[in-house]
Amino acid sequence: MTERIFLSSPHMSDEGYEQQYVKEAFDTNWIAPLGTNVDRFENELAAKVGSKAAAALSSGTSAIHLALKAAGIEKDDIVFCSTLTFSATANPIIYQNAIPVFIDSDYETWNMSPKALEKAFEKYPQVKAVLLVHLYGLSADMDQIVALCIKYNVALIEDAAESLGTYYKGQHTGTFGDYGIFSFNGNKIITTSGGGMLVSNNEERISKARFWATQSRDQARHYQHSELGYNYRMSNVVAGIGRGQLKVLDNRVKKKNYIYNFYKNNLSDLEGIEFMPNNEWDKPNYWLSAMTLTGKIRPIDVMDALENENIESRPVWKPMHIQPYFEKYDFVGTDVSEKLFENGVCLPSDTKIMDEQLERIVKIIRGLW
């Protein structure tokens, strides 16, 4: 059996930037959830995406949780949430004892449908926030969605966990709303092994998020806590990895684009295959290359054929509104997200992948037709 080809695995820089910053943390004995790497990673990430402030946290999930808290989401508040996503997007709504209402996708972006969102606003005018996902590094239609959030005066939170390095009309995703979140999980376009970042132009709210993330410890000589707190801060060691990874982000985006275009150029002629949409206003990072199959060959056929050759692939996310835990909550839309799940498959998109491996994957898939 040949060496396994992964969907998307960690990729450290050839220059060893990460090791330099981690060594600095060890040499200075700053191993705790504070230190130079944490401060500079926050500043460097904020500068990279064009946001005024950032808080380095233990995960993207914790960043979503604190974004909801910062936006004032409380018990029984309604939050509109993209349905086509990983559960980490929706879970923090439940942490706040709020009520998710799931919003369908559209085929034009694979992301939250502005039409479905408008219908949801009409049905639930008391909604408090919109939690939007930029799926697989594709940008949602931000002009329409931002306009709706302004019209109805609700907070907009962007789950950009999969879209660091993606631009919408020249602006980084994650910076259009009141809050944006990024993930540095092991499979993301850059990784800290695990971690996340909350960004906002509201510096006071970011400062408050850091306070909550450090167990809400008051400024007192003794341990005093006037608010509920969380152990959500990123460690100085992990932040060092992130600083090194941030230096190679642009290279990773280029490779992800190369992988997507390789698949598209070599598979699009097959009957029933369509690739993720590419809009003129969207400059994606193509975190994962995904396609839909609507002919006789089904996603399971492709995944099984690849797995038999020790190659990892995945289905498209199963929508939240048909997940056992979340199916009791309301859903606004049609069947777009369910069709994308039913017909979609994510192909190996590892930035360490070689041309001969891509050629092998294409050969296996083409052999099914």
**Average pLDDT of the residues in 347-365:** 98
Mean pLDDT computed over 38-62? 98
Q: How many CB atoms lie within 10 A of CB 219?
A: 6
pLDDT tops 70 at residue 275: yes
In the chain, where the domains are located: 17-246, 249-366
Residues contacting residue 78 through CB under 8 Å, at least 6 positions apart? 98, 99, 100, 101, 124, 126, 127, 128
In the predicted structure, residue 131 carries a pLDDT above the cut 90: yes
Cα–Cα distances in Å, from 217 out to 32, 141, 193, 213?
A: 16, 40, 27, 9
State the virtual CA torsion across 86, 319, 67, 146 in degrees, nearest 10.
130
Q: What is the DSSP letter of 35?
A: S
Q: What are the b/e assignments for 122-135, b being 16+ CB within 10 Å?
A: eebeebbbbbbbbb
Mean of the per-residue pLDDT values for the chain? 97
- How far apart, in whole angstroms, are the C-alpha atoms of residue 88 and residue 172? 22
CATH superfamily of 249-366: Aspartate Aminotransferase, domain 1 (3.90.1150.10)
Which pLDDT value is given to residue 221?
A: 86
Contact 279, 60 (CB under 8 A): no
C-alpha dihedral sign at 251, 253, 254, 258: positive
Give pTM, 2 decimals.
0.97
**Does position 1 have pLDDT exceeding 80, yes or no?**
no
Q: Give the mean model confidence (pLDDT) for residues 53-74.
A: 98
Give the pLDDT confidence score for residue 300 in this predicted structure: 98
- Give residue 199's pLDDT band: very low, low, confident or very high (50, 70, 90): very high
The helix, strand and coil proportions of the chain, stated in percent and rounded to the nearest 5, come to: 40, 20, 45
Burial 311-336 (b: 16+ CB within 10 A, else e): bbbbbbbbbbbeeeebeebebbbeeb
Long-range contacts: 31-34, Cβ < 8 Å, 24+? 31/235, 31/236, 31/237, 32/235, 32/236, 33/214, 33/233, 33/234, 33/235, 33/236, 34/233, 34/236
**CA neighbor of 305 nearest in space, from 271, 349, 265, 345:** 345
Contact in structure between 22 and 240 (CB atoms under 8 Å)? yes
Give the class (CATH, top level) of 17-246: alpha beta
